Amino acid sequence: MVFPVVMYGCESWTVKKAERRRIDAFELWCWRRLLRVPWTARRSNQSILKEISPGISLEGMMLKLKLQYFGHLMRRVDSLEKTLMLGGIVGRRRRGRQRMRWLDGITDSMDGFNIKSVQSQGFKLNVWDIGGQRKIRPYWRNYFENTDILIYVIDSADRKRFEETGQELAELLEEEKLSCVPVLIFANKQDLLTAAPASEIAEGLNLHTIRDRFWQIQSCSALTGEGVQDGMNWVCKNVSAKKK
């Protein structure tokens, strides 16, 4: 009963680093009390967590609730509070103003999560850039609703992770909310000599077996910009076809 009470309303909290440390300290205090281990005992926090094996930390549970709330909020109509939530605070910081926004906590936790509006060929595309770290992947499905195009970026120079990359892509394509959604695979870092060509990646990912949607693999380099616009042209073409 303790953790649900502590997390009540946490979806709207702006949690700073100092507060994260306090949350971690409180969680460890709870686990020590549960195991009847006093602070004077010579037991490390790691040994306590290993014995409890909570699976997910208190901070992790709070992040999960925040991401679910954020996903619901972003799926609402454009006339609601998205602009206010995503907009920055203009002017100098005054006494009492928050040092960070609620969304900053989301982007910090997602390590690269970003939302951009991109204009291309008369289309305004709302692009959700979601990180690919292992800890973030379970939360991907919170953002599948009303997706028009899936863009999957691959590091062409990291051959050791091709198998893992293929498995993740296959799982994404099996998601019900992404059924029949066209997919663009960006084979990034083609400016490196060690990069695998797009044809080799397509064969390794068994893209030829995809029959339920349109797909395209595009060689590109985020550093030089080569191939990026070609990929976006394909995106606009398929968005246009889907809207007809």
Is 218 catalytic? The answer is: no
Residue 189 marked ligand-binding = yes
204 annotated to a ligand binding site: no
From the candidates 133, 167, 218, 229, give the one annotated as an active-site residue.
133
On whether the CB atoms of residues 24 and 6 are closer than 8 A, the answer is no
Burial category of 167 from C-beta neighbours within 10 Å (exposed 0-12, middle 13-18, buried 19 and up): exposed
Asked whether residue 96 is marked as a ligand-binding residue, the answer is no
Q: Are 48 and 35 in contact (CB under 8 A)?
A: yes
- Is 227 flagged in the annotation as binding? no
Q: Is 206 annotated as a binding residue?
A: no
Q: Which residues are catalytic?
A: 133
- Binding-site members for GTP are 132, 188-191
